[in-house]
């Protein structure tokens, strides 16, 4: 089929949450003739909560440890080796906390191809949920964007009702939900579903 989409494939920023026809992106079950039209992640602002926690975790030893050492005179009871190992472990665990949260955001992705919609979710460690629906099976598509932050930063949820095995696909807190809905409608109208 002739490609009527005017948007040319473009290189995608590594941390991009919204990309139209991104170059260099492939997913597990992608077929040879299938092209990625939209690549989505949750809006980066959703990371603010764990980033704040991480900043606090990083700052706590800097401020709290000298006070604890001075006030409780811990060095008198606890050998210095334990304090060093505990401090190192604190930073290592914080690094692990940052890594796991970032990985969770980075790999929770929504993809719209010229044939289907794919929702890949990773919950906790080693649990993957992959759901998809052909564009031809979409029955209804809607979006919500409510609240001060979503309105200001233009992000929200997109709900796609389908006749496929997964009745509703939800794109959670994605940037530009209106554009996503329009793009999916456009792909359907131009007969992207084969």
Partner 1 sequence: MNDAALMSSAMTVVKILVIIGLVIYSFFAVIVVRQEQLMSHVLEESSETVLRILVKIHLLLSVALILLAFIIL
Residues that bind partner 1 (CB under 8 A): 12, 14-15, 24-28, 79, 81-82, 84-85, 88-89, 92-93, 95-96, 99-100, 102-103, 106-107, 109, 120, 122, 125-126, 128, 130
Q: Which is nearer to partner 1, 78 or 168 (CB)?
A: 78
Q: How far is the CB of 7 from partner 1 (least distance, A)?
A: 19
Question: Between 53 and 101, whose beta carbon lies closer to partner 1?
Answer: 101
In order of 52, 56, 80, 90, the CA distances from 62 in angstroms are 16, 10, 17, 11
d(CA 172, CA 85): 40
The distance of closest approach from Cβ of residue 121 to partner 1 in the complex, given in angstroms and rounded to an integer, is 11
**Smallest gap from residue 11 Cβ to partner 1 (A):** 9
d(CA 108, CA 172): 10
Give the single-character DSSP code of 7: P
Q: Choose between 35 and 136: whose C-beta lies nearer to partner 1.
A: 35
Give Rg (Cα) of the chain: 22
CB of 46 within 8 A of CB of 75? no
Closest contact distance (angstroms) between CB of 178 and partner 1 is 25
Question: Whole-angstrom Cα distance, residue 39 to residue 110?
Answer: 6
Which is nearer to partner 1, 33 or 185 (by Cβ)? 33
Q: Which of 168, 130, 103 is nearest to 29 (CA)?
A: 130
Residue with Cβ nearer partner 1 (71 or 125):
125
Least Å from the CB of residue 19 to partner 1: 11
Taking Cα atoms as reference points, which of 123, 115, 136 lies closest to residue 172? 123
């Amino acid at each position: 089929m002739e490609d009527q989409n005017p948007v040319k494939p473009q290189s995608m920023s590594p941390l991009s949450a919204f990309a139209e026809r991104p170059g260099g992106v492939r997913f597990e079950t992608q077929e040879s003739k299938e092209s990625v039209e939209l690549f989505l992640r949750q809006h980066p602002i959703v990371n603010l909560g764990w980033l704040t926690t991480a900043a606090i975790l990083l700052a706590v030893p800097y401020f709290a440890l000298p006070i604890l050492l001075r006030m409780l005179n811990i060095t008198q009871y606890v050998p210095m080796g334990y304090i060093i190992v505990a401090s190192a472990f604190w930073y290592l665990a914080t690094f692990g906390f940052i890594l796991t949260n970032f990985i969770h955001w980075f790999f929770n992705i929504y993809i719209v191809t010229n044939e289907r919609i794919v929702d890949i979710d990773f919950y906790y460690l080693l649990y993957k949920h992959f759901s998809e629906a052909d564009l031809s099976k979409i029955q209804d598509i809607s979006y919500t964007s409510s609240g001060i932050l979503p309105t200001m930063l233009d992000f929200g949820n997109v709900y796609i009702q389908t006749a496929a095995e997964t009745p509703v696909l939800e794109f959670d807190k994605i940037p530009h939900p209106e554009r996503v809905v329009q793009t999916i409608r456009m792909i359907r109208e131009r007969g992207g579903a084969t």
